[in-house]
Structure 1
């Protein structure tokens, strides 16, 4: 129970309590906040007003100090917020620190240290292979032995709502004699799930799959924008560079792992059995349902539970060579794609490489993104008692270069 008047079936109930950073009109100072129902609790002010021991961690307008504090402090903060919102004796003290969600401006919640993007959906890998190599029927030979990834550019990870400028670069269409330079003609999205690291690790020390929850604070949504024509030409032989590094959008609210206990499921059966460092005894698949909307129209609903490699396996592989974790590291799942046509997580797949335009309302069609298009990715997960845990959305519009 709570003294708040929460909307029925709100995705931001007391079993969720994600964290973000916001400001309000006329007050540019950034505050740490927790959305609950259709309001945001100013956690910076609430912690100071209740003289909470963790209040100093919330004064910098960014989540990094809280992220670095580790699981005992994460639990303390979460338990305190739940107590404040359920015990009537706090109501009068906290009401002044509640702001309508519709009136806040959200910001990038944490300073991103490093960004790594994986390639962990078997269906996406199979689809991409079939699109680019129609005669290919198999995955790359290493795909089921290790989680493939590329190291992205932390400086171009941006907050939801930040316009995405159409990137320029070299592209060489199939059959052309030479490359040309200009704006990408095959601008795409990738619907992904991101994991935010809190506790760092020591350089030269691998992090095991069993230590996942000791380092990772929570989960967000990611749109890993992709210029497919730039990517195809430059990725010979190395991986993504300019085709990816221009923008990666992140949702404003970071859902803590503690809110996702009812969403945890066993990952897919892995064959062959992974090497020892990639094995885990815990269930860390997540039963998330994503929704992709293009100009407000639902075009796909990818299921995250089908991902072949889980987040603990990705973290273990990321560090097994001794690479260290830093507070604010972000690693993303790679495109989330299910087996059905309406579960594809990129326009590359939805249009099958541009060869099969898909329909939008009003008789419109798309293969890749046009200037002015707006993409919104949202997600939810099971919570206790039939509730749903909401992630909000990551949204951005394409503007001309």
Structure 2
């Protein structure tokens, strides 16, 4: 009888929580410049109104895709990278379009090495391109002091801590004295307050952190720029990531121009460094990156999303998200993140005055690309700690720890999850 009564509730909630719906929509919004590259590279130039703004409601002018904006801003800085390189190494190459893009902006080099582990070698590469299947932290196929320029575009944020420090040290090894390392990446000083997330990102670094790591690895910093202003330094106000959202007092062009000299206030930082004759301090580089990861991973885990319209209640424990009786739908989801292979336990806190035979809520764990939840539990009683244990055989992307209301009774869920790693 109970199983029969649950069927319509379970069907309704699964239709709301289905991974092919919500997760895919979130994915579409949060794809990085790297994933948009091929389509953007081939797209025509967008025209803007005379005031430099783009409106999503203007029929004569298309809305401005933020990924288009970021990609072309990065292309502008590629044009200004230290010139004269004969041997360029790129860490993280998404496809043939990437090499075409670099040649179009920076110019043709005698040899372009591409280090890429996760994407297959594309067809039709130019004769000056050498494709190396390996991770960014292992450039053993490249001789020491053999490169003039190393470029890591939107790559560091995809790496685990030992891979970040390993890449910077490997870049120092393969570059000749006087060669240049150029790196750009999203800025945690903005991704955190924007609650911005990407299914493949571990933690984002700040410009202060990456320049400190580069100095430990033997580099002197020669330039630092910002792309896409997302904080008003006068007021501290965080500006919308989406250029089509209203931003009183700011035009798109102003945000693009001012960002260049304000990397700390920009969504993306861009750093250039020259290889000095100093011996890299490998132990200190690895240690610093490990410390940064331990410090900032907890914040990354809590980039949880609350659908618009939900009531929030403040307490000493944090924000509680309210769900009303009779209401069916997602109450909280996110953080849309990667986890390495291993065993984990995730815990939600739920409060409700009711205990019912039918479930009042459903908690589950889903991942991008998987049709079914990895783990799933119905909630029948209030004042509960709901824990699910999961085992991941491989690195898994786009993980979300979700809570949804069945409509059976009112409840509140704490906008915070506990994630324990490597449980026995």
The verdict on a shared fold, with TM-score over 0.5 as the criterion, is: no
Q: Larger Rg: 1 or 2?
A: 2
TM bucket (normalised to shorter chain) is: under 0.3
